[in-house]
Amino acid sequence: MKSLSTKQQAILEFLRQFIRDKDYPPSIRDIQLGCKISSTSVVDYNLKALERLGHIRRDREVSRAIELLDGTGRRPSTIPVPIIGTIAAGEPIPVPSADTWSNIDYDNVVEVTEEMTGGKAQVYALRVKGDSMIDALVNDGDIVILEATHSAADGEMVAAWLKDTGEVTLKRFYMDGDRVRLQPANATMKPIFTDPENLEIQGRVLTTIGNRG
Amino acid sequence: MKSLSTKQQAILEFLRQFIRDKDYPPSIRDIQLGCKISSTSVVDYNLKALERLGHIRRDREVSRAIELLDGTGRRPSTIPVPIIGTIAAGEPIPVPSADTWSNIDYDNVVEVTEEMTGGKAQVYALRVKGDSMIDALVNDGDIVILEATHSAADGEMVAAWLKDTGEVTLKRFYMDGDRVRLQPANATMKPIFTDPENLEIQGRVLTTIGNRG
DNA sequence: TTCTTACCAGAACACTCGTTCCGAATAGAA
DNA sequence: TTCTATTCGGAACGAGTGTTCTGGTAAGAA
C-alpha cells in the first residue's frame, strides 16, 4: 500500500482534530486554512487520493460530507454515571431507583466512555469508603461502576451482601456445587464460601477507577 | 422548563438519526425534507428554539454546524491516551517520545475524560501485565494512566525504577530525611526505603482503570 | 531531448446553504 | 372584538462550498 505524503497525513490529522473539536467535519476551505494549503484544488486532489486509499469517504456535492473511516472520527460519547452513594464493608449499598437515571444529579456523576460500561443500561457508581475493599483492589476514594442486577454468571465480579455477617463485599462469583465461592481479585487472598441463601447480589462490577493524583 | 413541540422533537430525532447514519450533520434543507417541513425558515425558527432551550449548539453562518448537546451529547471532551506498552515488575516501562503524541496509533488508545488526566499534557497509558502490581491495587490487564515526568512531590504515586533490584514499581513517594520511602497503596503492606540515587522516577500515576467485566 | 506521471496554483463556475424579509394563519388574553 | 405572541409559508439574497478548467513545476523513464 502506498504511503501517505506529509500533506495527506496533515489533512488526516486536521480532520481528526476538527471533528473531535467541533463535532462536524470541516469544509474544503477549512482544511485549506488549517493545513496551510495554497489552493482548494490541492485539497480536493489530496482528498480524492485519501478516498482512493480508503481513509475517508466523501459524499459528492455535499458540503462537509467527509467521513473518517478509521474509527477515530466519532468522538466517543461519554455517559454520565450517577454516583448514588458510598460503598463500605459494614453498610448496605444504596439501591438505584428508576428515578436514578431519569433525573440525574449532574453534580454527582462520573463521566465514562461507553467502553467502560460495556453499553449496559442501568449503570451507577459508588464511591469506596475506607480500606475494607482492598482485597478487591480498590482503595478509599476510588469509584466502582456497577450494573444494577440481582444475578451473576460464573466469574463475574459482583457487589454482594452477606446476610449473616451484615457486610457488603466485592468479589468474583463462582458456583461451587451447591455453595457459592466468592473469590477476591487479589489472588493471594482467600475466597469465602457461603450458602446461596446467605447471598444477595446487588450489582455487577463493570469497572473500577482509582484516582491516584 | 418549556416542553418541545412535536415538530421540535421530530427535528431532534432526525438529527440523531442523520448523524448516526452519515457521521455529519444535516443541512437545513436536509431537515426540511426529512421532517416534511414546508419551509427552511420554519426549520431555522425551530432550530433557534432548540438552541435557546439548550438542546443543540450551532455555529452561525457555517453549513451543517449543528451539534447535539443532549442524549448522546452534553459530553465533556475525551482525550485519546496512547497505550504505549505494558508494565510489569521485572522490566523497564516504555518511555514515551515526542512522537508518541504527535503520531497517535488509534488502534491502541484508551479514551478518558479530562477529569481523569487532570488536564495534564504528556499523558500516556500502560497495560498492567501480571499480578506483581497488586500492592498498588492494580491487577493483570488493568490500565495505568501516567504523566511523563522525572520528579515527584511528597505523596504522589509514581512509577519508579529501582536500579539495585532492576524492578519497576508503583508506589507513593515520600522523602524521609535523606532517604526515600515508597509506600504501597495497600496500607497493610510494608513500605520500601531506598536511596534517592537508586531511584529513577519514570512517571506520575494519575488514574488507574480496572476492567472487571 | 520528449513523454509521462504526480502534484500544485489560481481562478472561475454553479450549486448549496444559512439567513432574512414579508406576510399570514392561529391561539390566547384583555 | 382587538392586541399580542407564536408558528408557519414562500421567496429571495449573498456568502459558503464543491468542483472543474487551465496552466505550471518537478521528477523520472524512454
Q: Is B182 on the interface with A (CB under 8 A)?
A: no
Q: pLDDT tens for residues B54-74? A: 888 888 788 888 888 765 544
Pairing of strands B157-162, B143-147: unpaired
Residue A17: the pLDDT is 85
Instruction: Give the Cα separation of B146 and A200 in Å (integer).
Output: 37
**What does the domain layout of chain A look like in residue ranges?**
6-68, 78-209
- By C-alpha distance, the chain A residue nearest B72 is A77
Q: Is the distance between the Cβ of A3 and the closest atom of strand C smaller than 7 Å?
A: no
| B92 touches A: beta carbon within 8 Å | no
pLDDT tens sequence across A115-173: 888 878 899 999 999 888 888 888 899 999 999 999 899 999 999 999 999 889 999 99
CB contact at 8 A, B135 and B189 = yes
Pick one of 1.10.10.10, 1.10.260.40, 1.10.357.10, 3.40.228.10 as the CATH number of B6-68. 1.10.10.10
With cell 419551509, the residue in question is: B39
Give residue numbers, 43 to 62 of A, with CB < 7 Å from strand C.
45-46, 49, 61-62
φ and ψ at residue B159, rounded to 5 degrees = -95, 115
DSSP B90: T
Mean pLDDT on B158-164: 92
Instruction: Choose among A136, A16, A35, A159: nearest CA to A85.
Output: A159
User: Please, which residues bridge with residue A207 across strands?
Assistant: A145, B211
CB atoms within 10 A of CB B108: 14
What chain B residue is nearest to A30 in terms of C-alpha separation?
B62
What is the rounded average pLDDT of the residues B180-205? 91
Q: Which nucleotides in chain C have some atom under 7 angstroms from a protein Cβ?
A: 7-12, 15-22
Q: Which residues of chain A have pLDDT under 70?
A: 1-4, 70-77, 106, 213
B contacts of A137 (beta carbons < 8 Å): 134, 137-139, 142, 210
Q: At the topology level of CATH, where does B78-209 sit?
A: Umud Fragment, subunit A (2.10.109)
The pairing of strands B78-87 and B123-128 is parallel
Phi and psi torsions of A75, nearest 5° = -70, 125
Specify the DSSP class assigned to residue A30: H
Residue A104's pLDDT is 72
Model confidence pLDDT, tens digit, residues B104-120: 787 788 888 888 888 88
Task: Please check whether residue B203 is in contact with residue B158, taking contact to mean a CB–CB distance below 8 angstroms.
Answer: yes
Per-residue buried b or exposed e for B125-153, using 16+ beta carbons within 10 Å of the residue's own CB? bbbbbeebbbbbbbbbebbbbbbbeeebe
pLDDT of residue A75: 59
Work out the angle between the directed axes of helices B40-52 and B6-22 (0-180°, nearest 10): 90
More confident residue, B132 or A71: B132
Residue B97 grid cell: 517520545
Tell me how far apart the alpha carbons of residues A177 and A207 are, in angstroms, rounded to a whole number: 28
Using a CB–CB cutoff of 8 Å, tell me whether A73 touches chain B. Answer: yes
Q: What is the pLDDT of residue B172?
A: 93
DSSP label at A88?
B
